[in-house]
Amino acid sequence: MNSSVHEINTRYKNQLTLHSVRLPAIRRGTTYSAVKVFNKLPPCVSGLKNDKVVFKPALRKYLLTRVFYSVEEFLTND
């Protein structure tokens, strides 16, 4: 979490830390991509991350109500 990197209270404190990497192969990896996708989720869904029983249905409902045809389209959605 960004809140564990520093003690400053920022608006992104509840997002996962995305470390800078040099190799494109790591940027295409599942761990790096999963952090980017999780950070792009709205707060109403990502705030449920500690309760898997509630998080999974909320994530499913969010993704089914908005149709994304690719990961790139999801990441560029505002």
Tens of pLDDT, residue by residue over 26-39, are 777 888 888 888 88
Using an 8 Å Cβ cutoff, are 2 and 14 in contact? yes
Alpha carbons within 13 angstroms on the beta-carbon side of residue 27 total: 5
* Confidence (pLDDT) at 26: 77
Q: Over 90: is that where the pLDDT of 53 sits?
A: yes
Q: In this structure, which amino acid lies at residue 24?
A: P
| Domain coordinates in residue numbering, the chain | 1-40, 42-78
Confidence of residue 8 (pLDDT cuts 50, 70, 90): confident
User: Percentage of residues in the chain with pLDDT exceeding 90?
Assistant: 13
* Confidence (pLDDT) at 75: 84
